[in-house]
Amino acid sequence: MKAMYKRCLGYLQLRRYSSNAAATFSRESPDVKPFKEIPGATGKFTIPYYIGNTFLLKSLGCSEYPVDLKKLMTGIHKRYGDIARIRTTTNKWGVFLFHPDFAKEVLEIQIRNPFRPPIDILRIYNEKENLSQSLATLNGEEWAKLRKPSQELILRPVAVSAYVGSLSKVADDFVEKYIHGG
């Protein structure tokens, strides 16, 4: 387990999930590995413009539409392990983490202005309804300006404790629906 954790940490330190990897990269650890060494899709599964994804989906038994996301993710996890890279769209790649310790590591990385792929459906909805963009839809300086005041509030345990009950109900409901397919 410890060797796997160090290997994953090396992968994560290289990219730091930033659009400017060169600015955030540092070779603090000799375990740092190139992005291309993350286990994942190769060959015909990497053809861009959804062609490779079609082959991958079929090989994992997920060729029917809509795709069974649970079956797809289980197949990727079984085939590639606890960390996998898959071409998601055109020339973009996604890194999928199937171990909670790896997700924790990613979430703890401190970057001043990280880049996260936008959640288009939220951005489109906000624009359609004339709503402000949120932390989920912003990047760069705009994201940092919005995050700073909310971070100060969120880091106070007393402020967060008021929402634990509501969030717990939502999480329990999600898990129940996920498990029972509702």
pLDDT at 110 over 80: no
Question: pLDDT at position 78, please?
Answer: 95
- Arithmetic mean of pLDDT over the chain: 78
Asked whether residue 123 falls in the same domain as residue 108, the answer is: no
Same domain flag for 9 and 40: yes
Question: Is the pLDDT higher at 75 or at 111?
Answer: 75
Whether the per-residue pLDDT at 108 is higher than 70: the answer is: yes
**Does 109 share its domain with 122?**
no
Report the C-alpha gap between 23 and 6 in whole angstroms.
22
Mean pLDDT confidence for 141-160: 81
| Same domain, yes or no: 108 and 144 | no
pLDDT band at 161 (very low <50, low <70, confident <90, very high): confident
Query: Mind listing the pLDDT tens digit for each residue in 65-104?
Result: 888 889 999 999 999 999 999 988 767 888 899 999 888 8
Same domain, 40 and 106: yes
Do 76 and 124 belong together in one domain?
Answer: no
pLDDT digits (tens, 9 = 90+) for 26-79: 445 556 678 888 999 999 988 887 788 889 989 999 888 888 889 999 999 999
Whether residues 145 and 80 fall in one domain: no
Domain range enclosing 170:
118-182
Q: Which residues of 68-81 are buried (b: 16+ CB within 10 A; e: fewer)?
A: beeebeebbbeebb
Cis amide bond preceding 117, omega within 30: no
Q: Does one domain contain both 43 and 103?
A: yes
Percentage of residues in the chain with pLDDT exceeding 90?
Answer: 20
Q: What distance in Å separates the CA atoms of residue 137 and residue 95, rounded to the nearest whole number? A: 19
Q: Which residue matches tokens 């898990």?
A: 175
Same domain, 89 and 134: no
pTM above 0.85, yes or no: no
Structure tokens at 60: 């994992």
Domain count, the chain: 2
| Cβ proximity of 82 and 38 under 8 Å | no
Picking from 85, 113, 141, the residue at the C-terminal end of a domain is 113
- Residues 12, 83, single domain; the answer is yes
- Strand segments, DSSP code E, in 9-148 are 83-89, 92-97
